[in-house]
Each structure stands twice: as structure tokens, then as C-alpha cells.
Amino acid sequence: MILANYVPVLLFLLAATGLGLLVVVIGFLLGPRKPDAAKLSPYECGFEAFEDARMRFDVRYYLVAILFILFDLETAFLVPWAVSLDYLGWTGFVFMLVFLAELILGYVYIWKKGALDWE
């Protein structure tokens, strides 16, 4: 019977779901409940959410966050490249060296511009 092959997968999914729910319930039941003002306050981007919407705030926070996401996503290309390096050969190696050179030049550029400096 073909469905018999799926029984271990179904058991694994049930065990994983049950274990996940068990951990959450135990954490909820045994965890400390000591709310204070700092824990209950919303924190989004470094300033209080219920103040004047026209207040001035530092844009460098967003700049650093965007740069982190940009370079983090670019370095995510290294994993598939490393996995398939045997298939790609020297051509893939050279293309990745060009990619890494562009990545390093971009990093040096934003470093020299002072985008990563926090006063």
C-alpha cells in the first residue's frame, strides 16, 4: 500500500507539533509573570510610538538597517555557490570573485562615506 510510506512522515509531523505545543504550554504555565512599564512598552525603532508624529528622529538607524539587510542578502549568495562549486568549475569561481570584489568595494565605499559611523 502506497499510503503506508507516509505513516512515518505523519508520525513525525504529529510528534513535532505535539512537542512544539508542549514546550509553549510549559513555558506559559511555568514562566514568570512580572510585567513592568519597560516590558509593556512598544519598541519599534528607537522612539516612543505615542508621541508627536512630526518629531525629528535620526535617519541613521534606518540607513544602518537597510545596509545590513543589503549586505546580509548579498552574502546569502555564497552558500549556493559553495555547494555547487564542483559543478560551476573555474568559471563560477571567477564570477564569484568578481561578485565578492563588488561587494567589498561597496562596503569600503559606505565605510568611507561614514554611513556606518554612529556618534
Domain 57-119 architecture: Up-down Bundle (1.20)
Domain ranges of the chain: 57-119
Model's pTM, two decimal places? 0.48
pLDDT, mean over the chain: 83
Render pLDDT for 3-42 as a digit per residue (tens, 0 to 9): 788 899 999 999 999 999 999 999 999 988 887 777 666 6
- The CA-atom distances, in angstroms, between 33 and each of 21, 43, 73 are 20, 19, 38
